[in-house]
Structure 1
Amino acid sequence: MNPPDAATRPRLLVLASTFPGRDDDGTPAFVRDLAVEMAEVFDTLVLVPRVPGAPTREVVSGVRVLRFPYFPRRWEDLADGAIIENLRARRSRWIQVPAFVLAEALAARRAARRFRPDVVHAHWIVPQGLVATLVGQAVPRLVTTHGGDLYALDTPVLRKLKAWVARRAGHITVVNEQMAETVRALGGDHLPVSVEPMGAALPPGTPREPVTADGPCRLLFVGRLVEKKGVGVLLDALRAMAPGTVTLTIVGDGPLRAPLERQATGLPVTFAGQLGRTQVRDAYAAADVVVVPSVPAASGDQDGLPVVLLEAMSTGLPVIASNLPGLNEAVADGDSGLLVPPGDEDRLRQAIARLAGDPTVRARLGAAAAERAREYSITAVGARYRDILLRLAGDGGRSLPAQHGGR
């Protein structure tokens, strides 16, 4: 599909709750990356909640960003990081939820009236998909679920709300096949659902160091320090390994950092904290293996397909990942990485030992991972999303065929 003429660019309104407040602030940037890709074709406005240190209005690589307030600034911290994990970390934050939804609805209504979008892209079924459905029923809508909203928000009331949103969307995208089945179970087999993972985008950084057998194998974990990331399982696996075999750098922060630091006592583990994107790119360059030991959380939440996994693969790093939906769609076991049962510290230890002891296997898996990751590049993913959004904008919101997909 050819891009529209600049004089008739369609208008895209993006609703999301996670968006970097500053360059390199460590916030996951997949919504921003995709919006920048969309700005090549669309006049793009992103509406997101206010976070500390971020301007109320700005333009990022051709994308207009508007941040709405939702609570008195002194206590406004629900959207500073991951909303679901923030609620688990401090239950008093639930008082901010009604204010957040109302403020987002009012802000979206104002944006719709002033900006007059041709199409809306709502990231997460709840609350953004709900808000988009309530305030912009006449505007075609693409709803994208990333995992937590589908897996963890699973009360009877929320299931009914999600089904209501799904049945009224012009199209729904998910990041793995299991999530597609879950969405269809919510709203019916007729729903126009396709699997479209977020894309990996990294700025140029330090070149990858050559694979050698010298010294311990350098493991890297990147992600929020929350239950579903499985860092505790990784630390238990390391404790059973011979001294001097590996080192581990943990990049990220979150509510479990303090207990994980206590658990890591005596292990060759460095907690680097939350790093900006350029620093993370350098961390990939200095690593030998990236470990993604995700597990289903007690709440039912689990990773859909972490962008970190795709980023690591795109740099030519071999990965060890849990055999969960989404992760096992990106990683072919024994070809572009190794898969282990989630929560199985012994199998995880064996996989780490295998790669730590064989740089030739690491090099082979890393090369295959880089090739596989091309399908998940932000350029490739952006092209598929542009196609979906242009079709929605052009047909007035009539549903796309359910078989439209990313791979």
Structure 2
Amino acid sequence: MTEKKKIVVLLKGYPRLSETFIAQELLGLERAGYPLELVAMRRPTDKKRHPVHDEIKAKVWYLPEYLHEEPLRVLKALVRVCRTKGFASALKAFWADVKRDFSRNRFRRFGQAAVLVAEWPRDAAWLHVHFIHTPASVARYASMISDTPWTVSAHAKDIWTSEDWELQEKLAHSDWAVTCTKVGFEQLTLLSRGRNNVHLSYHGLDLDRFPHFLGSRPSRTGADAFDPVQILSVGRAVKKKGYDVLLKALATLPPDLHWHFTHIGGGDELSKLKALADELGLQKRLTWKGALDQRDVLEHYRTSDLFALACRVTSDGDRDGLPNVMVEAASQGLPVVSTTVSGIVELFENETNSLLVESEDIDQLAGALDRMIRDPALRVRLSTSAAAKVRSEFDYHNSIRDLDRLFTTSWSKIP
């Protein structure tokens, strides 16, 4: 049996409420016998944390987020690593990147890589990184400097907002990459230039944390003003989530159709969305909960009637993959109304286990919401089908087995 070597996992920020899928994976790897050490490029900003973060045993330390904040630490690291055999090749790659992308951010990544190598734990033999954009830039430079093999998990924004040339070079240099949607897999496979080192593995859920919901939901139809249909959405208030479209769709529903919308999550667009809701006259029908931990979110899945998210592709190419919150909602028998963007269609199928519409189409979205609000039997039929698919195909243990196989195969080739 191949020995499980210690892995340094490089993260953009840790812990983060919006990245439960990463925390879940880290805990799964620990339970599979992998010793981990976590290194983050940013300190936490969330005021809350999920229970899973407290179960992860790995040590966590932080790189300087901005080089000018810790100049002596960065200078000491550069002095130390400049004597390594790989420093010259890393510096050459860095200058080639700077010529194509001259930015302070590029210099920051090289400095962070130097610190990572200088402070590398002696008992670690592998570097794995989440996100193929800026964290993978740090990983690539660090790997060159230290001659340490590295691998990467790519997700959504990091794929679609990165330049093709940069993705190609990272895929050429990393041992392998794994991604969580078929559409992302196809894009990265195209850019891997025949290396066949890109693998598809859905994150899935820890179904022990999301057990079957054995309760029953009221057969609300939107006819009773004192018992409105409860619509839930969970997600950061950012443009790719399409909350402006969702609010506009809600505003077009007939005034005699009774519903209440609850949003869970933080995000930079929250104040703008609240202003839009006021402009649309929706104040009395909305509740903004802010960020909540996983236990509170689970309770909202179970007390709501339907889940809605209007995902879109933004002007810079950013988009969701398969939002984990939609998988969570489906696991609890909560029917989903969403769009056909990106990896959503890899779990959800219109009229079979959800109602899906084209993104940006306010009228279509309003029509789907209207149908779902009025028809409790439709909600039951669609949600039952979606929950069965989640439990048969989206168990996170499958993802951990995929990663275990990939790490084991890579390590067996090392002399």
Q: Is the 8 A contact 2:13 2:43 kept in 1?
A: no
1:108 equivalent to 2:108? Answer: no
Task: Confirm or deny that 1:121 pairs with 2:144.
Answer: no
- Unaligned ranges ≥5, structure 2: 47-52, 71-101, 221-226
1:327 maps to 344
Superposed CA offset, 1:336-395 (max 9, x none): 212111111111111111111111121122222111112222222222222222222222
Give the match for residue 29 of structure 2: 38
- The gaps in structure 1 that reach 5 residues or longer are 76-93, 398-407
Which secondary structure state, in structure 1, belongs to the residue aligned with residue 40 of structure 2? Answer: strand
Q: Report SS of the residue matched to 1:125.
A: coil
Q: Are the counterparts in 2 of residues 208 and 286 from structure 1 also a CA contact under 8 Å?
A: no
Question: Is the helix fraction higher in 1 or 2?
Answer: 2
Mapping 1:242-321, distance limit 5 Å: 242-243=254-255, 244-265=257-278, 266-267=281-282, 268-321=285-338
Whether the 8 Å CA contact 1:253–1:274 is kept in 2: the answer is yes
**Contact 1:10–1:41 under 8 Å retained in 2:** no
| 1:389 matches 2:396 | no
Question: In the alignment, is the contact (CA less than 8 A) between 2:26 and 2:56 conserved in 1?
Answer: no
- Secondary structure of the residue aligned to 1:14 is strand
Give the counterpart of 1:235 among 242, 247, 256: 247
Pair 1:216–1:255, CA change in 2 (3 A): same
The secondary structure found in structure 1 opposite 2:359 is coil
Larger-gyration structure (1/2): 2
Matching residue of 2:219? 213
Counterpart selection for 2:149 from 140, 143, 160: 140
Taking structure 1 as the reference length, the TM-score comes to 0.81
Does the CA contact (< 8 Å) of 1:252 and 1:275 recur in 2?
Answer: yes
Secondary structure, aligned partner of 2:122: helix
Pair 1:27–1:169, CA change in 2 (3 A): same
Shift of residue 43 of structure 1? 0.9
Deviations 1:54-112 (A, max 9, x none): 9xxx984332322233238999xxxxxxxxxxxxxxxxxx9873564245313431354
- Distance (whole Å) between structure 2 residues aligned to residue 65 and residue 30 of structure 1: 18
d(CA) in 1 for partners of 2:316, 2:188: 18
Q: Deviations over 1:258-282 (max 9, x none)?
A: 1111111222111111112221111
The residue that corresponds to 1:171 in the other structure is: 176
Q: Is the 8 A contact 2:14 2:44 kept in 1?
A: no
Deviation at 1:207, TM superposition (A): 5.3
Match of 2:63 among 52, 65, 68: 68
Decide whether the 8 Å contact of 2:9 with 2:127 is kept in 1: yes
What is the rounded CA distance, in whole Å, between the counterparts of 1:120 and 1:72 in structure 2? 22
Residues 18 and 27 in structure 1, CA contact (< 8 A), matched pair in contact too: no
- Corresponding pairs, count: 362
What letter is aligned with 2:41? P
**Measured at CA, do residues 209 and 372 of structure 1 come closer, stay the same or move farther in structure 2, by a change above 3 Å?**
same
Range with greater deviation from structure 2 (99-108 or 190-199)? 99-108
The structure-2 alpha-carbon separation of the partners of 1:52 and 1:296, relative to structure 1 and needing over 3 Å to count, comes to closer
Q: Give the aligned residue type for 1:71.
A: Y
Q: What is the aligned-residue identity percentage? A: 23
Per the TM alignment, residue 174 of structure 1 is displaced from its structure 2 partner at its CA by 1.8
> In angstroms, what is the RMSD of aligned CA positions?
2.8
